[in-house]
Amino acid sequence: MTTPAQHDRDQAAARVDRLKQDLAGRLGTAPEPGAEDPEPMDRLVAAATRLLDAETDLDEAVHRLVSAELGARHAATQRAVVFFAAGPVLAGLVSGALVLFGVLSPGWLPLLVPMFAAGMWVGFAPVRKVPAVLRERTRAAWAGTVAAVFLVVALLPWPSATATVVCTVLAVLGTAAAIAWLVRESRIP
């Protein structure tokens, strides 16, 4: 199924092709330079003008198609990052509440605060319609979600401390990656 922008582009391309064939046919029967009747040359110039107008219309149709595709990708990214931001935000909030009520030690705060901030940035900061920005925001959303999963796993009671340490380190790395991609996104012009 084609979108209206694709349909417009296809129609403009077909019109350009048709006019090119018409112009090529007219060039085969072009009048001699010293001919008395200017009418064939005027028709040839009119055909070339129509071809230039059609090529301009094709360029505009291609631009509208690219813009429509970018708009669709932008909307999909905005919807997705809101869902992905829920993990880091909720993990940060719940863990922060556990620190507040004394269940967890305050040593978790250096991980929780950046994770919460990154989740808020991912979910609620405006997303520009630039392909590189969309890519970086998606990467940051994935990294934040992975970090939140590792944080939740690290907070579970384990028989050995090794699993907790490994998951904590992976949560810290995931949070650092999310923040790095968000900073990188903010530097894209």
Same domain, 113 and 173: yes
Q: Are residues 145 and 87 in contact, defined by beta-carbon separation less than 8 angstroms?
A: yes
Q: Specify the number of domains making up the chain.
A: 2
Query: What are phi and psi for residue 137, nearest 5 degrees?
Result: -65, -40
Q: According to the model, what pLDDT value does residue 39 have?
A: 76
The model's pTM: 0.69
Please tell me whether residues 56 and 86 are part of one structural domain: no
Q: Which of 66, 93, 108 is the last residue of a domain?
A: 66
Domain check: are 53 and 88 in the same one? no
Q: At how many degrees (to 10) do helices 109-124 and 131-155 cross?
A: 150
What is the full per-residue pLDDT of the chain (189 aa) written as tens digits? 778 888 888 888 898 898 888 888 877 776 666 667 677 777 878 888 888 998 999 899 899 988 888 888 888 888 888 888 888 999 989 999 999 998 888 988 998 999 999 999 988 888 888 888 889 999 999 999 999 999 999 988 888 889 889 999 999 999 999 999 999 998 988
Asked if residue 118 and residue 170 are part of one domain, the reply reads yes
**Do 49 and 112 belong to one domain?**
no
Do 172 and 99 lie in a common domain?
A: yes
Same domain, 84 and 51: no
E strand spans, 35-120: none
What pLDDT is stored for residue 183 in this prediction? Answer: 92
Residues 82 and 145 reside in one and the same domain: yes
Q: Which two tokens stand for residue 145?
A: 């979600």
Residue 12 structural domain: 4-66
Looking at the fold, whether 98 and 136 belong to one and the same domain comes out as: yes
- Which residues does 30 contact at the CB level (< 8 Å), separation at least 6? 40, 41, 44
